[in-house]
Amino acid sequence: MPRRNTYKEDEILEEPFDIKHLLRASGYIKKHAGKMGAALFFSALGGAAALVSPMIVQRALDIAVPNQDKDMLFRLVIAATVFYIVSVIMTTIRSHIMVNVSQDIIYQIRGDLFEHLQKLPFQYYDDRPHGKILVRVVNYVNSVSDMLSNGLINVILEIINLVFIIVFMFAVDVKLSLVVLAGVPFLMVFMFWIKNKQRKAWQAVSNKNSNLNAYLQENIVGARITQIFAREDENADIFKTLSSNCRKTWMKAVSYSTMVWPGIDTISVLVRAAIFMFALLVFSRGNESLGVIVAISSYASRFWQPIMNLGNIFNNFINNMAYLERIFETMDEPVTIDDAPDAKPIGKLVGEVTFENVSFSYEKGKEVLHDVSFSVKPGESVALVGPTGAGKSTIVSLISRFYDVQSGRILIDGQDISKVTLNSLRSQMGIMLQDSFIFSGTIGDNIRYGKLDATEAEIRRASKAVCADDFIKFMPKRYNTEVKERGALLSQGQKQLISFARTLLSDPAILVLDEATSSIDVQTEKALQKGLDAMLEGRTSFIIAHRLSTITKCDKIMYIDKGGITECGSHEELMAKKGDYYHLYTAQIDGMEVG
């Protein structure tokens, strides 16, 4: 199935405002309504305290200084200091509260998002770059949480602050206040022009950073392949292009951002010039006091800041609505493989597996399996062979219900697996994939991954059974040796042996081995065979192996091709038939002899 998006393609973040996203996000805000209300209260007190200062300066210039009233001047200085301290304390308390609220919102959104990602089917991860999933979980959540906490609070605060400034300003002088307000239309025209360009520019920055993140994540995972094929120069060129795009969009966005303050400052300077001109030349021809002029000029300087802040908040709000839509889009991604409403635990498995007219496709119109039917008795070992892409891995994935069939049904112990709980089914299945994934942590932690209550003795016993103990006992701290992400510094064969031990420890009723011995050398595989025999004994098992010599003892061999089972029988029966399996087996044996 084609990816919905790659590192070469921008995510479309130009979203129209949709109130449903904001209403949905309000659920995270309501949990902190009390704290946010307190923060708003402290901010209002701090803002009001800060706005008293110009009035104190006015009284000092108009009364205390002309009258040389030192006592009054001292009292005014003390008052200004007190109001300043009150403003700082209130603002600090507010900041402390909102930091906690913001982090709580991040924690809750990210937790909900991660929990949902854990449930999404394999198809979701097949269809999109993992780097762009990470951007949503990390970058977008960080940005959105700030909008939901500080953003909404700041809108209210800036409006209150603006109202306070206007009230204090009019209390000092009505006519000069009107002069200040006359500059608002010019500011609004400028802000409307710059903010539209600024918003688009920062959305472009987000797109290019997302692309870079997707490519970087892909190349970190595939670093070994890059070096194997000597692709360093080509990849460096691609990264350079992506990084250059980030730089160009960033510089463009910053160029618009750096225009905001000079533009507002220019309007502010012109307004203050108008204040002096009108105060000295127009209104009462110079009868306005110096204190009034200074106080109004001070309020005029403060007046533009809330307006600019509201513009920034609006710009940030529009961007974050797009991010919020992406987060909820991920949360709304359907969990197509989930428990049915009436699902029940499957109970202890015996291991009988039946396919009844099963058809399946990854893409519409391209069937991988068509009308497949077979039955496997409890304890039987079944090998699946056939050409690449014939559907062998698909069959075992369907048994584990990693995908749902399009038609037909799969029964285990007579129960339709689509009607039982996933946990009760998968907890009794041991699945060994070709890619043996190792988590960061100790070797022991990796082995007990599927059985957290396993004792040290059980871990060692499972490891010895699959020959993993043979190399673990030589590790620096044996089972307590730390392994890095994806099992770095371990050979592929060692990782597969650890995975074998992990699977055996879980004591599954049904065992699936998908090319599980592909990275183990022949000598180790022979030593492992005894452990595998013990592992397969009494368990229904499905084995996909490219070395056909390893599956000759299986009870049943099914040749998969052209969407179905073309041959089925024991090794001897299929060799006597001289069909597809016979030709595949003899070709492989002849090739080994020639080699």
pLDDT given at position 284:
52
Residue 213 forms part of a structural domain:
yes
Question: 180-238: per-residue pLDDT in tens?
Answer: 777 778 777 777 777 667 767 777 777 787 788 777 777 776 776 777 667 778 888 88
Letter string b/e over residues 89-107, b meaning 16 or more CB atoms within 10 A of that residue's CB: ebbebbeebbeebbebbbe
Q: Which range has the worst mean pLDDT, 405-414, 518-527, 567-576?
A: 518-527
Tokens (6 digits) for 427: 């907890």
Tokens (6 digits) for 229: 């094929």
Instruction: For residues 248 and 372, state if they share a domain.
Output: no
> Is the per-residue pLDDT at 277 higher than 80?
no
285 pLDDT band, cuts 50/70/90, is low
Tokens (6 digits) for 534: 């013990």
pLDDT given at position 595:
46
Mean of the per-residue pLDDT values of the chain: 78
pLDDT given at position 357:
92
d(CA 135, CA 147): 17
Letter string b/e over residues 293-303, b meaning 16 or more CB atoms within 10 A of that residue's CB: bbbbbbbbbbb
pLDDT given at position 2:
36
pLDDT given at position 1:
35
Residue 141 forms part of a structural domain:
yes
Instruction: For residues 420 and 547, state if they share a domain.
Output: yes
**Listed residues 331, 362, 383: the one ending a domain:** 331
The side-by-side arrangement of strands in the sheet containing 415-416 is 366-376, 353-363, 407-412, 415-416
**Listed residues 294, 312, 331: the one ending a domain:** 331
Instruction: For residues 346 and 205, state if they share a domain.
Output: no
Percentage of residues of the chain with pLDDT beyond 90: 4
Q: What type of residue sits at position 24? A: R
- Mean pLDDT on 26-45: 82
Tokens (6 digits) for 199: 């918003």
Question: 473-499: per-residue pLDDT in tens?
Answer: 888 888 888 887 666 677 777 787 888
Domain tally, the chain: 2
Backbone angles phi, psi at 160, to 5 degrees: -60, -45
Check residues 21 and 248 and name the one with the higher pLDDT: 248
d(CA 218, CA 449): 26
Instruction: For residues 165 and 248, state if they share a domain.
Output: yes
Distances (CA, A) of 510 to 222, 230, 350, 434, 506: 33, 42, 8, 17, 11
Residue 313 forms part of a structural domain:
yes
Decide: 523 and 350 in contact? Cβ < 8 Å: no
Question: 311-341: per-residue pLDDT in tens?
Answer: 777 767 766 776 777 788 788 887 777 888 8
The full DSSP string for 67-109 is: TT-HHHHHHHHHHHHHHHHHHHHHHHHHHHHHHHHHHHHHHHH
pLDDT given at position 354:
92
Tokens (6 digits) for 226: 């890059």
Decide: 295 and 57 in contact? Cβ < 8 Å: yes
Residue 523 forms part of a structural domain:
no
Instruction: For residues 208 and 264, state if they share a domain.
Output: yes
Instruction: For residues 134 and 240, state if they share a domain.
Output: yes
- The residue segments making up the domain with residue 367 are 342-428+539-595
502 pLDDT band, cuts 50/70/90, is confident
Residue 224 forms part of a structural domain:
yes
Question: 349-399: per-residue pLDDT in tens?
Answer: 888 999 999 999 887 778 888 999 999 999 888 989 888 888 888 888 888
pLDDT given at position 235:
81
Residue 149 forms part of a structural domain:
yes
CATH number for position 575:
3.40.50.300
pLDDT given at position 558:
92
Residue 82 forms part of a structural domain:
yes
Instruction: For residues 298 and 399, state if they share a domain.
Output: no
The full DSSP string for 181-226 is: HTTHHHHHHHHHHHHHHHHHHHHHHHHHHHHHHHHHHHHHHTHHHH
pLDDT given at position 527:
59
Q: CB count, 10 Å around CB of 176?
A: 24
> Is the per-residue pLDDT at 454 higher than 60?
yes
- Mean pLDDT on 532-558: 80
pLDDT given at position 279:
66
Decide: 570 and 557 in contact? Cβ < 8 Å: yes
Global pTM exceeds 0.95: no
Q: What is the DSSP pairing of strand 540-544 with strand 510-514?
A: parallel
Q: What type of residue sits at position 129? A: P
Instruction: For residues 350 and 389, state if they share a domain.
Output: yes
pLDDT given at position 435:
65
pLDDT given at position 579:
86
User: In the 8-state DSSP scheme, what is residue 553?
Assistant: T
Instruction: For residues 153 and 208, state if they share a domain.
Output: yes
**Listed residues 331, 365, 396: the one ending a domain:** 331
> Is the per-residue pLDDT at 468 higher than 60?
yes
Residue 206 forms part of a structural domain:
yes
d(CA 487, CA 443): 9
The sign of the torsion formed by the CA atoms of 221, 226, 231, 233 equals positive
d(CA 513, CA 467): 17
Instruction: For residues 165 and 302, state if they share a domain.
Output: yes
pLDDT given at position 434:
66
Letter string b/e over residues 577-587, b meaning 16 or more CB atoms within 10 A of that residue's CB: eeebbeebbee
> Is the per-residue pLDDT at 575 higher than 50?
yes
pLDDT given at position 282:
56
> Is the per-residue pLDDT at 12 higher than 70?
no
Percentage of residues of the chain with pLDDT beyond 70: 85
Q: Which range has the worst mean pLDDT, 26-35, 79-88, 145-154, 519-528?
A: 519-528
Range ranked top by mean pLDDT from 15-19, 279-283, 413-417, 424-428: 413-417
Instruction: For residues 296 and 357, state if they share a domain.
Output: no
Within 332-400, residue ranges assigned H as helices are 392-399
Backbone angles phi, psi at 201, to 5 degrees: -65, -40
pLDDT given at position 228:
67
CATH number for position 95:
1.20.1560.10
Instruction: For residues 267 and 392, state if they share a domain.
Output: no
